[in-house]
Amino acid sequence: MSSISFSVVGFGRIGQRHAKIIHEHAQCTLRSVCDVEPKHFDRCEELGFPDVNTFHDLDAFLSAEQTSDQRSDVVTIATPNGFHAPYAVKLLRAGYHVVIEKPMGINSTECEEILIAEKETGKHVFVVKQNRYSPPSVWLKEMVASGRLGDVLMVQTNCYWNRDQRYYSTSPWRGSLDQDGGALYTQFSHFVDLMYWVFGDIEQPKSIIRNFTHPDLKDFDDSGFAQFEFTRGGMGSINYSTSCWDTNMESSITVVGTKGSVKVGGQYMNEVEYCHVENYELPTLPPTNPPNDYGPYKGSAANHHYVFQNVVDVLTGQTEITATAFEGLKVVQMIERIYDAAR
């Protein structure tokens, strides 16, 4: 496979980032972009690919691909959340590998349909979980997996962000229960994923959720507390809010183990803030990439290029998928349990 061809479905801010990374990758070819908003295609020239094929809906894209002698190998899905799973299933069954932005879906039933389609078609599913690539996240994973911290006793995850009128007024799907899903799906699923990736699954959750400052902007929670047990041992919590005034405040994971305690923090879980571990000295870690910049608000680390490098490496037989469909399902199941416990 000399060059891997991609198309992007959903050409808003994230889809444009996907397309730019693909276009600039030496082993990739950007074939098409698809979006229901024609104005988004105005950015194609600015991003460096003025002649890319454009389509206004998924069916038009699939119809054109069926009659083309140059089909895409991979389709990335960067639509509103509610379309992630149904589009993924449709594209898998049409013969494409898929890259799915987080969350993989907004309920576990539709995520299970993705796993079934993946198995039946033999195509690959790559779920975007780019925070796994940040050096502090890689370091924390190794500290826990190696047993350096001993038995994990307590894990506290804090996510305190700002998402106000500046965010919700830009797209009508944001804040809707059927397309957005909830704060833990859209804003904080990366941090739920890090909990799953490092510490495993959860059980016996107890939760409180509220909509403090967004009653006119969204149909669901903006803040919550959840406590739970990890199935591997130890107890944990996630405390989150999008009600911070003006800007993001903190994203952090604090771990207390029998052989030491650590905290990965900063605004975007971008630095090791505390490390006191038996017979261990913290090494100098590589710098963390800055957060994705969306103007008045910021997102998680700008690590999407690692995701697409993983796609290339998997399809050329060099490695395994970093974040699988099964893991995407587990994250959605964890979020469901947290929300169900609050009802």
What residue segments make up the domains of the chain, in order of their start? Answer: 4-130, 131-299+324-341
> Is 1 a residue whose pLDDT tops 70?
no
CATH of domain 4-130: 3.40.50.720
Question: What phi and psi, each to the nearest 5 degrees, are found at residue 265?
Answer: -145, -145
Q: Are 74 and 4 in contact, with CB atoms under 8 Å apart?
A: yes
The per-residue pLDDT for range 52-102, each reduced to its tens digit, is: 999 999 999 999 999 988 899 999 999 999 999 999 999 999 999 999 999
- pLDDT value for 291: 83
Q: What is the dihedral of CA 86, 91, 97, 100, to 10 degrees?
A: -30
Nearest partner of 206 among 222, 225, 230, judged by Cα = 225
The arithmetic mean of pLDDT across residues 19-47, rounded, is 97
**Percent of residues, the chain, with pLDDT higher than 90:** 90
Residue closest to 281 by CA, chosen among 294, 290, 272, 292? 272
Residue 132 has pLDDT above 90, yes or no: yes
CB 201 within 8 A of CB 230: yes
pTM of the model: 0.96
Tokens of 266: 């900063």
| pLDDT score, position 42 | 96
Tell which phi-psi region holds residue 122, choosing left (phi > 0), alpha (psi between -120 and 50) or beta.
left
Residue 195 or 291, more confident: 195
Q: Which two tokens stand for residue 235?
A: 């107890």
The mean pLDDT value of the chain amounts to: 96
How many percent of the chain have pLDDT more than 70?
99
Name which of 184, 223, 200 is nearest 338 in CA terms. 184
Three-state DSSP class for residue 275:
strand
Q: Which parts of 212-324 fold into alpha helices (H)?
A: 304-315
Residue 293, amino acid: D
Would you tell me which CATH number, out of the four given (3.30.360.10, 3.30.70.890, 3.40.190.10, 3.20.20.100), belongs to the domain 131-299+324-341? 3.30.360.10
